[in-house]
Amino acid sequence: MPVPEARRKTQLSRQQYLDLYYYMRLNREVEETMTKLFRQNKIVGGLYSSLGQEGISVGSAYALEKKDWMAPMIRNIGALLVKGVPPRDIFTQHMAKFTSPTKGKDGTSHFGDLQNLHIVSPISMLGDLIPVMTGVAMAGRYLGQNIVAMTWIGDGGSSTGVFHEGLNLAASQRAPFVLILENNLWAYSTPVRRQVPLDNLADRAKAYGIQSYSIDGNDVVEVYNTTKEAVDKARAGDGPILIEAKSFRRRGHAQHDPAEYVPPAQREYWEKRDPIALYETFLFKQKLLDAKGKKEIEDKISGLLEKEREFAENSPMPPAETVSEGVYCTGDDCHKIAADWQRPVAEVMPPKSNVDPVWTVKGFGSGKNASRENAPIHFGDTPSVENSNTDKVPTAKKLAGEPPRAKGRG
């Protein structure tokens, strides 16, 4: 897929280029570590791999600012790492340890951080995060925070009803929202061509009048540059943007799925387009990385993950007496929920926010309703109460004094 010339020429700093490489490598090594833990029966529940899709999670999340909000899905561990989640939280969460973010009460990637990292926990019903994050984006605008909200969805998830409902809501509200559509060619075992009559899923944005891009999800620089452009536009008030990142899911839906339905030729083609290998070649060619620098990054990741894995394996399981704790929020003693106003509250409160509740359209006339108050909306000419024959109109008092009518037919 050709890269737009403008984005190909976008320059990052040397540190930014190396950051993208580091997080992609960390993403892969974290998942490889968890694969080993899964085979040792130390992972509780399923394990979902993003092998071959690391460039999408890392490149898109790297385009966000610290104040921005995101809601990752099961294959977006790279986005969690970029946002600042330590590997030990990911390990302990999958192992249901008491030291995990949910204290062992949930598994896989179902955790978030509302206070510091601005991460909303995944929702298992695919597509539901789209209206949720649209709401986050709208709330941020209302509070004057100037934030952007982002979430991800797969090709299969883009066929759910709530995908379209949420995207329509975002479009109609011009919410500062960016949706990354990861087209990895398979919705579990259903190929895209069997579920969607489109070559580019980005075309779905046309129905809602919003901008969209279709990009190579295995080119982390293109993912970053395109997402950064989309984030900047959304923050500037240009409304939501959909980005389709094309890639390939190189493992099954989860560890239990051997993915034997994938044609060997298709797998072979995409394995040659490994995003980390492609990016590494680019970095060496641009003299941004050499053998020594690569070794230093590998050693850094290896040392970090050894400590994080040991911490997770040595962490205790949840004590039985804590089973009922933290299941329901009980108010401020659980955690305080308060609006973070970044604009004068008076701007959105009466009297400054008050407007005349009458919408008069030229040529449609105006008038009063039965209670002699201005009607909120006038369609057509409404005769005023003063000019109507009030004697023939039963008042509320008259109606109240009339005996009830007998029930029956006729």
Cβ(179)–Cβ(172) below 8 Å: no
What's residue 108's pLDDT? 87
The total of other beta-carbon atoms located within 10 Å of residue 398's CB is: 9
- Cis bond upstream, residue 275 (ω within 30): no
Paired tokens of 207: 């129905």
What's residue 97's pLDDT? 96
What's residue 188's pLDDT? 92
Is residue 5's pLDDT more than 90? no
Q: Looking at residues 287-294, what average pLDDT do you find?
A: 97
What's residue 327's pLDDT? 83
Is residue 371's pLDDT more than 70? no
375: confidence class by pLDDT, cuts 50, 70, 90:
low
Cβ(33)–Cβ(305) below 8 Å: yes
Q: What is the per-residue pLDDT across 59-92, written as a single tens digit (0 to 9) for each?
A: 999 999 999 999 999 999 999 999 999 999 999 9
Rg of the Cα atoms in the chain? 27
Paired tokens of 156: 């299969």
- The strand pairing partners of 212, in sequence order, are 242
Q: What is the per-residue pLDDT across 305-334, written as a single tens digit (0 to 9) for each?
A: 999 999 999 999 999 999 888 888 888 887
What's residue 351's pLDDT? 79
| Strands of 81-221, DSSP E | 149-154, 177-183, 186-187, 190-191, 211-216
> At a CB cut-off of 8 Å and minimum separation 6, what does 373 contact?
none
Is residue 394's pLDDT more than 50? no
The CATH homologous superfamily of the domain defined by 5-322: Thiamin diphosphate (ThDP)-binding fold, Pyr/PP domains (3.40.50.970)
For residues 119 and 93, give the distance between their C-alpha atoms in angstroms, rounded to a whole number: 15
Is residue 350's pLDDT more than 90? no
Is residue 402's pLDDT more than 90? no
What's residue 383's pLDDT? 47
What's residue 11's pLDDT? 81
The total of other beta-carbon atoms located within 10 Å of residue 191's CB is: 15
For residues 178 and 160, give the distance between their C-alpha atoms in angstroms, rounded to a whole number: 18
Q: What is the per-residue pLDDT across 80-128, written as a single tens digit (0 to 9) for each?
A: 999 999 999 999 999 999 999 999 998 888 999 998 999 999 999 999 9
Exposed e or buried b per residue across 261-271, where buried means at least 16 C-beta atoms within 10 angstroms of its C-beta: ebeeeeeeebe
More confident residue, 404 or 304: 304
Distance of CA 219 to the CA centre of its chain: 21
Q: Looking at residues 396-401, what average pLDDT do you find?
A: 44
Exposed e or buried b per residue across 41-57, where buried means at least 16 C-beta atoms within 10 angstroms of its C-beta: ebbbeebbbbbbbbbbb
Span(s) in the chain for CATH 3.40.50.970: 5-322
The total of other beta-carbon atoms located within 10 Å of residue 301's CB is: 18
- pLDDT-wise least confident of 8-22, 264-278, 344-358: 344-358
Exposed e or buried b per residue across 203-237, where buried means at least 16 C-beta atoms within 10 angstroms of its C-beta: ebbeebebbbbbbbbbbbbbbbbbbbbbbebbbee
225: confidence class by pLDDT, cuts 50, 70, 90:
very high
Is residue 286's pLDDT more than 80? yes
Is residue 2's pLDDT more than 70? no
Q: Which residue shows structure tokens 């003693």?
A: 333
What's residue 325's pLDDT? 86
In one letter, which amino acid is 48?
Answer: Y
Half-sphere exposure of 161 (CA within 13 A, CB side): 0
How do 190-191 and 186-187 pair as beta strands? antiparallel
Paired tokens of 290: 């050499």
pLDDT above 90 covers a percentage of the chain that reads: 72
Average pLDDT, the chain: 87
What's residue 400's pLDDT? 45
Is residue 270's pLDDT more than 90? yes
User: pTM for the full model?
Assistant: 0.84
For residues 290 and 295, give the distance between their C-alpha atoms in angstroms, rounded to a whole number: 9
- pLDDT-wise least confident of 192-206, 244-258, 350-364: 350-364
Instruction: State the DSSP H helix or E strand holding residue 71, giving kind and residue range, or none if neither.
Output: strand 69-71
